Protein backbone atom coordinates (compact mmCIF):
# COMPACT_ATOMS: atom_id res chain seq x y z
CA UNK A 1 0.00 0.00 0.00
CA UNK A 2 1.31 3.45 -0.85
CA UNK A 3 0.55 6.39 1.40
CA UNK A 4 1.36 9.95 0.51
CA UNK A 5 2.96 11.92 3.35
CA UNK A 6 0.15 14.12 4.64
CA UNK A 7 2.44 16.34 6.67
CA UNK A 8 0.39 15.62 9.80
CA UNK A 9 2.69 15.46 12.79
CA UNK A 10 2.33 13.56 16.03
CA UNK A 11 1.74 16.90 17.73
CA UNK A 12 -1.21 17.71 15.44
CA UNK A 13 -2.79 14.30 16.14
CA UNK A 14 -2.21 14.72 19.91
CA UNK A 15 -3.74 18.21 19.91
CA UNK A 16 -6.74 16.97 17.91
CA UNK A 17 -7.22 14.11 20.39
CA UNK A 18 -7.00 16.43 23.41
CA UNK A 19 -9.41 18.97 21.89
CA UNK A 20 -11.94 16.69 20.20
CA UNK A 21 -12.17 13.48 22.22
CA UNK A 22 -13.46 15.07 25.44
CA UNK A 23 -16.27 16.95 23.69
CA UNK A 24 -17.28 13.75 21.88
CA UNK A 25 -17.31 11.62 25.04
CA UNK A 26 -20.49 10.49 26.68
CA UNK A 27 -20.79 8.83 30.09
CA UNK A 28 -21.70 5.18 30.34
CA UNK A 29 -25.39 4.62 31.04
CA UNK A 30 -25.99 5.10 34.76
CA UNK A 31 -22.59 6.70 35.47
CA UNK A 32 -23.86 10.10 36.64
CA UNK A 33 -26.57 8.57 38.80
CA UNK A 34 -24.17 6.07 40.37
CA UNK A 35 -21.54 8.70 41.15
CA UNK A 36 -24.13 10.98 42.74
CA UNK A 37 -25.57 8.10 44.76
CA UNK A 38 -22.16 6.92 46.03
CA UNK A 39 -21.13 10.48 46.91
CA UNK A 40 -24.37 10.85 48.88
CA UNK A 41 -23.50 7.61 50.72
CA UNK A 42 -20.15 9.08 51.79
CA UNK A 43 -17.81 7.27 49.40
CA UNK A 44 -14.56 8.97 48.42
CA UNK A 45 -14.68 8.87 44.61
CA UNK A 46 -11.65 8.93 42.39
CA UNK A 47 -10.57 8.15 38.88
CA UNK A 48 -7.30 6.46 37.92
CA UNK A 49 -6.76 6.59 34.18
CA UNK A 50 -3.91 5.92 31.80
CA UNK A 51 -3.19 8.89 29.57
CA UNK A 52 -2.22 12.51 29.48
CA UNK A 53 -3.33 14.57 32.46
CA UNK A 54 -4.85 17.30 30.30
CA UNK A 55 -7.05 14.90 28.30
CA UNK A 56 -8.18 12.97 31.40
CA UNK A 57 -9.24 16.18 33.16
CA UNK A 58 -10.91 17.55 30.06
CA UNK A 59 -12.91 14.35 29.58
CA UNK A 60 -13.91 13.92 33.24
CA UNK A 61 -15.05 17.53 33.68
CA UNK A 62 -17.73 16.88 31.08
CA UNK A 63 -19.43 14.40 33.40
CA UNK A 64 -22.64 15.83 34.80
CA UNK A 65 -21.58 14.48 38.20
CA UNK A 66 -17.95 15.61 38.03
CA UNK A 67 -18.41 17.57 41.26
CA UNK A 68 -18.66 14.17 43.02
CA UNK A 69 -15.12 13.22 41.94
CA UNK A 70 -12.67 14.03 44.72
CA UNK A 71 -9.52 12.70 43.09
CA UNK A 72 -8.42 12.33 39.47
CA UNK A 73 -5.07 10.64 38.81
CA UNK A 74 -3.65 10.18 35.33
CA UNK A 75 -0.69 7.99 34.53
CA UNK A 76 0.89 11.17 33.20
CA UNK A 77 0.67 12.91 36.58
CA UNK A 78 1.55 9.76 38.58
CA UNK A 79 4.58 8.88 36.48
CA UNK A 80 3.45 5.24 36.17
CA UNK A 81 0.66 3.52 34.25
CA UNK A 82 -1.90 0.92 35.22
CA UNK A 83 -1.40 -1.99 35.91
CA UNK A 84 1.65 -0.88 37.94
CA UNK A 85 0.63 -1.24 41.59
CA UNK A 86 2.30 2.07 42.48
CA UNK A 87 -0.46 4.11 40.80
CA UNK A 88 -3.14 2.29 42.82
CA UNK A 89 -1.30 2.33 46.13
CA UNK A 90 -0.20 5.96 45.73
CA UNK A 91 -3.70 7.11 44.87
CA UNK A 92 -5.19 5.31 47.89
CA UNK A 93 -2.56 6.65 50.28
CA UNK A 94 -2.90 10.20 48.90
CA UNK A 95 -6.62 9.99 49.69
CA UNK A 96 -5.89 8.83 53.23
CA UNK A 97 -6.82 5.17 52.77
CA UNK A 98 -5.01 1.85 52.72
CA UNK A 99 -5.50 -0.06 49.45
CA UNK A 100 -7.46 -2.82 51.22
CA UNK A 101 -10.06 -0.20 52.20
CA UNK A 102 -10.68 0.64 48.53
CA UNK A 103 -12.85 -0.71 45.77
CA UNK A 104 -11.69 -0.35 42.16
CA UNK A 105 -14.19 -0.65 39.35
CA UNK A 106 -12.76 -1.08 35.88
CA UNK A 107 -13.35 -2.54 32.45
CA UNK A 108 -9.85 -3.77 31.59
CA UNK A 109 -8.97 -7.16 33.08
CA UNK A 110 -5.21 -6.55 33.29
CA UNK A 111 -4.79 -2.77 33.59
CA UNK A 112 -7.68 -2.27 35.99
CA UNK A 113 -8.62 -5.47 37.79
CA UNK A 114 -5.29 -7.32 37.94
CA UNK A 115 -3.38 -4.14 38.82
CA UNK A 116 -5.78 -3.03 41.55
CA UNK A 117 -6.02 -6.55 42.97
CA UNK A 118 -2.21 -6.83 43.14
CA UNK A 119 -2.21 -3.51 45.02
CA UNK A 120 -4.60 -5.01 47.59
CA UNK A 121 -7.86 -3.38 46.48
CA UNK A 122 -11.22 -5.08 46.18
CA UNK A 123 -12.27 -5.15 42.53
CA UNK A 124 -15.34 -5.13 40.33
CA UNK A 125 -14.95 -5.91 36.64
CA UNK A 126 -17.31 -4.09 34.27
CA UNK A 127 -17.69 -6.77 31.63
CA UNK A 128 -18.30 -6.15 27.95
CA UNK A 129 -15.37 -4.03 26.79
CA UNK A 130 -12.46 -6.49 26.92
CA UNK A 131 -12.35 -10.28 27.01
CA UNK A 132 -11.05 -11.89 30.18
CA UNK A 133 -7.59 -13.33 29.45
CA UNK A 134 -7.02 -17.04 29.84
CA UNK A 135 -4.90 -17.84 32.88
CA UNK A 136 -5.81 -14.69 34.84
CA UNK A 137 -7.75 -15.41 38.03
CA UNK A 138 -11.36 -14.35 37.64
CA UNK A 139 -12.54 -11.31 39.62
CA UNK A 140 -14.62 -11.80 42.73
CA UNK A 141 -17.29 -9.47 41.32
CA UNK A 142 -18.43 -8.99 37.74
CA UNK A 143 -21.11 -6.62 36.50
CA UNK A 144 -22.53 -5.95 33.06
CA UNK A 145 -23.82 -2.45 33.79
CA UNK A 146 -23.11 0.24 36.34
CA UNK A 147 -26.60 -0.19 37.79
CA UNK A 148 -25.47 -3.53 39.27
CA UNK A 149 -22.64 -1.89 41.21
CA UNK A 150 -24.95 -0.65 43.97
CA UNK A 151 -25.84 -4.26 44.82
CA UNK A 152 -22.18 -5.02 45.55
CA UNK A 153 -21.17 -1.80 47.29
CA UNK A 154 -24.44 -1.26 49.16
CA UNK A 155 -25.94 -4.76 49.52
CA UNK A 156 -28.75 -3.61 51.82
CA UNK A 157 -30.12 -1.06 49.31
Q: What is the pLDDT of residues 31-46, one digit of tens each?
A: 888 889 999 999 999 9
* Of the candidate ranges 2-16, 27-41, 60-74, the one whose mean pLDDT is the lowest: 2-16
> Considering the chain, what is the average pLDDT of its residues?
87
Structure confidence at residue 156 (pLDDT): 61
Structure confidence at residue 3 (pLDDT): 53
- Sorting pLDDT into bands at 50, 70 and 90, what band is 64? confident
Measure the CA angle with vertex 136, ends 135 and 139; round to 5°.
140
Q: Which residue has the higher pLDDT, 68 or 17?
A: 68
Tell me which CATH code domain 29-151 carries.
3.40.50.1000
* Of the candidate ranges 53-67, 106-120, 122-136, the one whose mean pLDDT is the lowest: 53-67
Find the DSSP H helices in 4-129. Answer: 10-24, 31-40, 53-60, 75-78, 85-94, 115-119
> Rounded to 5 degrees, what are φ and ψ at 87?
-70, -35
Per-residue 3-state assignment (H helix, E strand, C coil) for 95-117: CCCCHHHCEEEECCHHHHHHHHH
Contacts of 53 (CB under 8 A, 6+ apart): 74, 76, 77
Contact 125, 106 (CB under 8 A): yes
Length of the chain counted residue by residue:
157
Q: Radius of gyration over alpha carbons of the chain, in Å?
A: 17
Amino acid sequence: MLVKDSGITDEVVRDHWINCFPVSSVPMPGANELLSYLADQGYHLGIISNGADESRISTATRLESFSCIQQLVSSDSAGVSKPNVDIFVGTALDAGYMPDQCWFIGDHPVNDIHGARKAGMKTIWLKGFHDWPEGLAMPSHTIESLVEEKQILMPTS
